[in-house]
A and B are shown apart, each in its own frame.
Chain A
Amino acid sequence: MNPSENTLPTISDDLLLQCMHCGMCLPTCPTYVLTKRERSSPRGRIRLIKSMAEGKLNFTHEFITEMNFCLDCRACETACPAGVHYGRIIEETRRVIAETTKISYKTRILRRLFLTGLFAKQKRLQLLARVVRFYQKTGMEWFVLKFNLTGLFSKKLKQIAPLSPKISAKFTKQLLPEFLPAHGETKYKVALLTGCVQDIAFAETNLATAEVLVRNNCDVYIPQNQACCGSVHAHTGAVELAKKNLLHNCAAFYIDTIDALIINAAGCGSFLKESGEIFSLAEDAVAIKKLASKTRDISEFLCEINFRKPEAHLDLIVTYHDACHLAHGQKIRSAPREIITSINGVILKEMRESDWCCGSAGVYNITHTETANKLLDRKIRNIQSTNAEIIISANTGCSIQLAYGIRTSGSQLKIMHPIDLLWRAYQAEERNE
């Protein structure tokens, strides 16, 4: 391809020049630490993108490989004293890659199936989830894994089949009505995004979120016609589809009337908060900006409204995994910890590298299974050395990945969302009463 056609119009010169290549990001970048290769560092990738934009580098296979090798965990953003918006640079680059490169017919069909099929309508995802649930519950999964049946189809399928999450016995709509009134006085009107994967794999966490909110003076609205947040689409370059979902949700959540849109999956929250900026030039920027500005992570929101501390005592040792899209993407570190330690008897034992990516990183564990597994092993080792019995994680993707790591390491660890823990404490308190 002619390099002059490869201009990245929305990555401004200023955005790239902000990086003064000091190297402070290197030790925090998982792909650099694993490979010790400069081009696999944020500093290296920014320089490659700059070279592309200046026409010094062609749109090579190696370039694309490198851009996709990045986890987009944004640990570098936290480390960067200069405040480089690395996430925006890499995501915009990937969008251009998606638009300009020829992808194989197979990949295109698969992508279309996922983005316009599965993730467009939650019902379709739920249908698939029911099939998987049946597969998991009937013992078929055991049979298939045991006799390596997935391996007959393809090596990749064999690699990724065990990554699939344990499907919830009930989905959110079977657990929650569309509206739950606050217990006592209503101080806040909030809506709850139930998520796509969250809904089928962690529906109980959605229940816990709603139950905790109503116990903190919130009316909770859980519209069943809500759509996926759009991050899956945006991160795979399907920006228009992402925008469609955002606008659909502006209406579905009655964004003008609510005080906050509550998110319990860090990835969704991070994308929604940034969507205002991503679509700042779009026709419907005002609505999207409003959606972005009202988005709150559940832990963040509870700390903002000074949530009620539970009185019950839970005798537990836990450790906390900082989801990238919470710690680096949304700069939320203390709020989940505040919730955890608000519960009497709960001991929070910090692990090493708590803010290191677990390898989940959107679909990274599917596209780059080997690297993802290396990161997962590292994470599981750090978790195990705390001797905690519960690992707290506030992001769907991380929880699925950690569950996989725990299963394969033969550990007895349990995974909970901070809000699951708080809900458990409220429940214990109510039982005592």
Chain B
Amino acid sequence: MVNKSKIIEKLTLISGSENVLTEPEDMISLSYDGTPLYEMLPLCAISPQTVEQISQILKAAHELEFKVVPRGTGTGLSGGAIPVANSVIVMMHHWDKIIEIDEKNLTVTVQPGVITQDLHTAVEACGLFYPPDPGSMKICTIGGNVAENSGGLRGLKYGVTSSYVMGLQAVLPEGSIVSFGNKCVKNVSGINMKDIFVGSEGILGIITEIVLKLIPKPQDQKTMLAFFNTIEDAGETVSAIIAEKIIPCTLEFLDQTTIKCVEDFAKIGLPIEYEALLLIEVDGPSIIVEDEAARIIDICKKHGAQNVEFARNSEEAEKLKTARRAAFTALARVKPTTILEDATVPRDKVAPMLRQIQIIAKKYNLLFGTFGHAGDGNLHPTCLTDERLTDEMERVELAFEEIFKVALEMGGTLTGEHGIGVAKKKFLAKFEMPANLQLMKKIKTTLDPNNILNPGKVFDL
């Protein structure tokens, strides 16, 4: 049995009473993240002020037998920041300093609590570019992005968070402080340890500082919308663009349900009569952008696009992308509960996967809105349901299991960018190769033998 008052006393000693939250109102508002259906109250929460304090908290966790769950702004979609039994939340969102933008080395060094969009704004002011742009970039933190290896709309051309992490500092579950990688473009000094922490979902260490790679800001961009009468046409257009060896920076798919919800929210004049649309953006040197845009229009028309429109200016392009980023939450307009997954398939399987989602939705008599980063095969089949209906929720579970199965059969993966967390760990246990799972668990138990840090996430030991 944990002794809560002793824990609070100890944490107060470490960071001061002004940095420890214990009120039930605070606990309730830290009991969730962006993931539907999961919640749990923590024992208390602490805002550490230094790396050493984080180390002390983890050491205290061993001594007083509590669990530790790190948290940024709580926008994750797999439950990474949701408290577990007997846990203390370590809040990192106030670690929000951009330490250095190094224009000579094209790197930026940040604390983990920096908001992703603030980072974009800061580096773009120097003519530089940090591509990963998760849907929640207005409020999610870089630390969370690294822990979940987040993607975004630009993943197709520019990759995901892991493509930009050059180095990081972390506090390990037992309290030691490690730092791997640095500003060196080439660095093979020992085992590539930094990448173990990228996408570790907060179970291997608490990330305290990150060095990120930057690239020059693309000179020009062109954004367009293509409308289709069938989902298949849109899906085949995606595969055709890639097969033509064009890599747009963004190639997003929205089905009719999603289009309607997004338009209802953003009111940007999207036509709602089409069954699907593609939001496509190409960027780079102007001359190439022009050429690629023209070729993409040809391909769209050849594959049944009813209409192709250009954004008139960068403001309009930004509006379109912002509206797309709101798609997930906008779908919540339809039904009380919105459950989103991110089953991902190789790019040539986008059309068949979209078809399968439709078939499965019909089979289980469920309403789905599907959108996603079609260009990189990362789809977001989203079930619009009501958590109060037990019978329907059972069907939702079966439907998602089938979607995952189909995606894996096509050579896909359970999750493209959201992580396993609590929401998908039973599917990981079911579908992952036993040897793979065993290795993951071995790494976890080596670093965290007492299972202190974010236990019960990704897998159960």
Scoring B residues 5 to 29 as 1 if CB is less than 8 Å from chain A, else 0, what string do you get? 0000000000000000001111011
- A163 vs chain B, min Cβ distance (A): 29
Which B residues are CB-close (under 8 A) to A48? 25, 28-29
Contact partner, B24, options A21, A27, A60, Cβ 8 Å = A60
In the complex, B163 has a CB within 8 A of chain A: no
In contact, B29 and A39 (Cβ under 8 angstroms): yes
> Which among A18, A56, A66 is the interface contact of B332 at CB below 8 angstroms?
A18
> Which of A18, A21, A44, A80 has the largest number of chain B CB atoms within 10 A?
A21
Output the nearest chain A residue to B89 by Cβ-Cβ distance. Answer: A38
Please tell me if A62 contacts chain B, counting CB pairs below 8 Å.
Answer: yes
Query: A38 touching B74 by the CB < 8 A rule?
Result: yes
Contact sample, A vs B, 27 pairs, CB 8 Å cutoff: A13-B336, A17-B387, A18-B332, A19-B332, A20-B36, A21-B33, A21-B74, A22-B34, A22-B75, A22-B328, A24-B329, A38-B29, A38-B74, A39-B25, A39-B26, A43-B29, A47-B28, A47-B29, A47-B32, A48-B25, A60-B24, A62-B25, A81-B261, A81-B329, A82-B265, A82-B330, A83-B264
A20, A36, A45: the one within 8 Å of B94 (CB): A36
Q: Judge whether A51 is part of the interface by a CB distance below 8 angstroms.
A: yes
Q: A17-B337, A38-B74, A83-B265 are in contact. Are A22 and B29 (CB under 8 A)?
A: no
Which residues of A, 72-101, contact B by the 8 Å Cβ criterion? 80-83
Which residues on A sit within 8 Å (CB–CB) of B34? 20-23
CB interface residues, A 12-55, toward B, < 8 Å: 13-14, 17-24, 26-27, 36-39, 41, 43-45, 47-48, 51
By the criterion CB–CB under 8 Å, are B25 and A60 in contact? yes
The verdict on A81 contacting B24 (CB below 8 Å), with A18-B336, A26-B139 known, is no
From known contacts A23-B136, A27-B115, infer whether A57 and B28 are also in contact, taking CB-CB under 8 Å: yes
Q: Which residues of A contact B266 (CB under 8 A)?
A: 81
Residues of A within 8 A of B405 (CB): none
| Contact bitstring B51-95, A, C-beta under 8 A = 1, else 0 | 000000000000000000000011100000000000000000110
User: Which residues of B are interface residues toward A (Cβ below 8 A)?
Assistant: 23-26, 28-34, 36, 73-75, 93-94, 115, 136, 138-140, 261-262, 264-266, 326-330, 332-333, 336-338, 387-388
Shortest Cβ distance from residue A71 to the other chain B in the assembled complex, whole angstroms: 18
User: Does residue A279 face the partner (Cβ distance < 8 Å to B)?
Assistant: no
Q: Is the CB of B33 within 8 A of A38?
A: no
The closest CB in chain A to the CB of B36 belongs to: A20
Q: List the A residue with the shortest CB-CB distance to B94.
A: A36
Report how far A21 CA is from B25 CA in the complex, Å: 16
Residues in A neighbouring B136, C-beta threshold 8 A: 22-24
Task: For the complex of A and B, list the 4 residue pairs with the smallest distance between their C-beta atoms, beginning with the closest.
Answer: A44-B29, A82-B332, A81-B329, A81-B326
Q: Taking the nearest CB of chain B, how far is it from the CB of A177, in angstroms?
A: 41
Which of B115, B265, B388 is close to A81, meaning CB atoms less than 8 Å apart? B265
Q: How far is the CB of A169 from chain B (nearest CB, A)?
A: 43
Is A63 an interface position by the 8 A CB rule? yes
What is the chain B residue whose CB lies nearest that of A46? B29
Query: Which of A45, A47, A63 lies in contact with B31, CB distance below 8 A?
Result: A47
| Max count, chain B CB within 10 A of own CB: residue among A18, A24, A56 | A24
Q: Note all chain A residues with C-beta closer than 8 A to B329.
A: 20, 22, 24, 80-82
* Interface pair A39/B139, CB less than 8 Å apart: no
A23 to B115, CA, bound (A): 13
Which chain B positions have C-beta within 8 A of A56? Answer: 28
> In whole angstroms, what is the CA distance A325 to B83 when docked?
37
Instruction: Give Cα A45–Cα B336 distance, bound, in whole angstroms.
Output: 18
- Asked if A57 meets B265 with Cβ closer than 8 Å, knowing A17-B336, A82-B333, the reply is no
Which B residues touch A81, using CB under 8 A?
A: 261-262, 265-266, 326-330, 332-333
Residue of B nearest to A16 (CB): B336
Known: A22-B329, A24-B139. A38 touches B337 (CB 8 A): no
A23 touches B73 (CB 8 A): yes
Chain B residues contacting A80 (CB-CB under 8 Å) are: 329
Which residue on A lies nearest to B326, using beta carbons? A81
Q: How far is the CB of B132 from chain A (nearest CB, A)?
A: 17
Contact of A14 among B36, B139, B327, B336 (CB under 8 A): B336
A38 contacts which chain B residues (CB < 8 A)? 26, 29-30, 74
**What residue in chain A is nearest B39 (Cβ atoms)?**
A47
Q: What's the nearest-Cβ distance from chain A to residue B97, in Å?
A: 14
Known: A56-B28, A81-B330, A82-B330. 9 other contacts (CB 8 A): A13-B388, A17-B336, A20-B36, A22-B136, A24-B139, A36-B94, A38-B26, A39-B25, A41-B29
Is there an interface contact between A37 and B332, defined as CB atoms closer than 8 Å? no
In the assembled complex, the Cα of A14 lies from the Cα of B33 at a distance in Å of: 20
Tell me which residues across on chain B come within 8 A of A20, comparing CB atoms.
34, 36, 329, 332, 337-338
Give Cα distance in the complex from A242 to B336, angstroms.
Answer: 32
The smallest beta-carbon distance between A354 and chain B, in angstroms, is: 16
Minimum C-beta distance from B432 to chain A (A): 28
CB distance from B145 to the nearest CB of A (A): 14
| With contact pairs A36-B93, A38-B30, A57-B24 given, residues A23 and B333 touching in the complex (Cβ less than 8 Å) | no
**How far, in angstroms, from A66 to B28 measured CA to CA in the complex?**
13
Question: Chain B contacts of A23 at CB under 8 A?
Answer: 34, 73-75, 136, 139-140
| Residue of B136, B264, B336 with most partner-chain A CB within 10 A | B336
A335 to chain B, nearest CB (A): 15
B329's nearest neighbour on chain A, judged by CB, is: A81
Minimum CB–CB distance from B391 to chain A (whole Å) comes to 18
Q: Given A38-B29, A60-B25, A24 and B94 touching (CB < 8 A)?
A: no
Closest to A41 in B: B29
Instruction: Please report the C-alpha to C-alpha distance between residue A63 and residue B388 in the assembled complex, in whole angstroms.
Output: 26
Q: Chain A CB within 10 Å — which of B32, B332, B336 has the most?
A: B332
- Chain B residues, CB < 8 A from A27: 115, 138-139
Shortest C-beta distance, A156 to chain B (Å), equals: 25
CB–CB B138/A24 < 8 A: yes
Residue of chain A at shortest CB distance from B328: A22
Residues from chain A with Cβ under 8 Å of B115 in the complex = 27
| Nearest chain A residue, comparing its CB with the CB of B34 | A22
